[in-house]
Amino acid sequence: MSPDRTNPWEMAQRQFFEAAEAMGLDDNMRRVLSQPKRELIVHFPVEMDDGRIEVFHGYRVQHNIARGPAKGGIRYSPDVTLDEVRALAMWMTWKTAVVGIPFGGAKGGVQVDPRKLSHRELERLTRRFATEISILIGPDRDIPAPDVHTNPQVMAWIMDTISMHKGYSVPGVVTGKPIEIGGSRGRNEATSQGALYVTLEALPRVGLNINDAKVSIQGFGNAGSIAARLFHEAGATIVAVSDSQGGIYNPRGLDVQKLLEVKRETGSVVHYPDGDKMGSADVLEVPCDILIPAALEDQITEENADRIQARMVVEAANGPTTPEADRILHDKGILVLPDILANAGGVTVSYFEWVQDLYSFFWDEERVKSELKAIMKRAYHAVFEIVDQKKVLPRTAAYILAIQRVVDATRIRGIYP
């Protein structure tokens, strides 16, 4: 891990202990919930197209399963570490609890740059990794989903691999699959759709109307690009976006459809012609009303938080804001919609997909959106009721809500044996 990067596991634990202190959580529960339940580390060989054998390193961590099967994505990145996966698994526990769906939290990852692999190499790596973690995953135990640099095709390979082991199709073993093999309509847009729903609920708190809002988005992958489209369709003006190669800014607004075309044709938004080019992180600091960090964790820190000019930060990424930055943003009067609330739309529609797979009964997109909207609105109001009652930061309120639900489940179940 880069020495100037905040350790995500330390950050996740700090956020947990701050909320535990605010709610007066007893020491026994702090010990139980501050550590992962299971950690699997695997080192597995993959035959490359030229006949070489490469050994890759992967992880699957289950943080908590008191409220149901573990749930969480799998990411492919050369920067994946065990601490990162631990943190993401813990955040998944709180995320599923905030929106009230019956899952625990898990996460997985492989240290690999998938852009350097051929299609066949990526498939072989995925199938071997799925085999390695098959001792943990299953529709009643642990259900993976797409994350950074993974997609519906990767989920299809995992589903097929586990199905071959079982001798029959097991569609519920993963979510985020193609619709043709048991995926849910609306899943691809779910994270950004959920972020939009909670943003619309929060706008009155900062005196904003969506039609007057200027939006800056860091990250133009699945979540960021779809957020650009959905917020634009809702009436907002997208003024800045970025991806790993750089960013583009135009205070008069960007043509979202043209942005999507440029990204698809050239691989980066930096080739968009009508705007000022800037660094990937610079879009965090442009004048805007709504800032959406939709890239990786540890993006808004105490070094740059004071330069944030937004009125609201909507965390479409996991862990983009450090605890120190949280306090700075609060002192500046910037409302933060925390990740475990703002980006919980993805896992919520994953839950819908899992339910549809179990019953082999599938919903149309309007029902998916309607059910998602109801859950996100309910979660938003539950969080901000705690904000108003306890006078705490929205992140602390979301943690209090989530932790209490996990604590209640743990106490009711008891400590075995």
Please report the pLDDT score of residue 297 as a whole number: 83
Active-site pick, 107, 214, 263, 369 = 107
208 shares a domain with 257: yes
Please report the pLDDT score of residue 119 as a whole number: 98
294 shares a domain with 262: yes
Give the tens place of pLDDT for each residue, 260-319.
999 999 999 999 999 999 999 999 999 999 999 999 888 999 999 999 999 999 999 988
200 shares a domain with 149: no
In a domain, 93, yes or no: yes
Integer Cα distance of 149 and 74 in angstroms = 9
Q: What is the mean pLDDT of residues 314-329?
A: 94
In a domain, 361, yes or no: no
Last residue of a domain, one of 342, 362, 388: 342
* pLDDT at position 323 over 60: yes
Closest by Cα among 181, 186, 185 to 162: 181
DSSP structure string for 221-285: SHHHHHHHHHHHHHT-EEEEEEETTEEEE-TT---HHHHHHHHHHHSSGGG-SSSEEE-GGGGGG
Give the tens place of pLDDT for each residue, 333-388.
999 999 999 999 999 999 999 999 999 999 999 999 999 999 999 999 999 999 99
Give the tens place of pLDDT for each residue, 140-160.
999 999 998 999 999 999 999
* pLDDT at position 4 over 80: no
* pLDDT at position 1 over 70: no
State the total domains in the chain.
2
Query: Is 37 designated active site?
Result: no
Please report the pLDDT score of residue 298 as a whole number: 87
In a domain, 331, yes or no: yes
331, burial (CB in 10 Å: exposed 0-12, middle 13-18, buried 19+): exposed
Range(s) of the domain holding residue 272 = 190-342
Please report the pLDDT score of residue 92 as a whole number: 96
pLDDT band at 3 (very low <50, low <70, confident <90, very high): low
- Is the bond leading into 417 cis (omega within 30 degrees of zero)? yes
DSSP structure string for 283-304: GGGSS-SEEEE-S-SS-B-TTT
In a domain, 295, yes or no: yes
Strand partners, 293: 218
Give the tens place of pLDDT for each residue, 113-131.
999 999 999 999 999 999 9
In a domain, 211, yes or no: yes
Give the tens place of pLDDT for each residue, 197-234.
999 999 999 999 999 999 999 999 889 999 999 999 99
78 shares a domain with 209: no
For all residues of the chain together, what is the average pLDDT?
95
Give the tens place of pLDDT for each residue, 68-84.
999 999 999 999 999 99
Please report the pLDDT score of residue 239 as a whole number: 97
CB 283 within 8 A of CB 216: yes
Please report the pLDDT score of residue 2 as a whole number: 52
* pLDDT at position 12 over 60: yes
- Which CATH number characterizes residue 110's domain? 3.40.50.10860
- pTM across the whole model: 0.94
Give the tens place of pLDDT for each residue, 45-57.
999 999 999 999 9
228 shares a domain with 155: no
| Contacts of residue 136, Cβ cutoff 8 Å, sequence gap at least 6 | 38, 40, 60, 62, 70, 142
CB 322 within 8 A of CB 298: yes
135 shares a domain with 66: yes
Structure tokens at 29: 């529960």
In a domain, 401, yes or no: no
- Which CATH number characterizes residue 325's domain? 3.40.50.720
237 shares a domain with 166: no
Last residue of a domain, one of 327, 342, 357: 342
Integer Cα distance of 72 and 61 in angstroms = 9
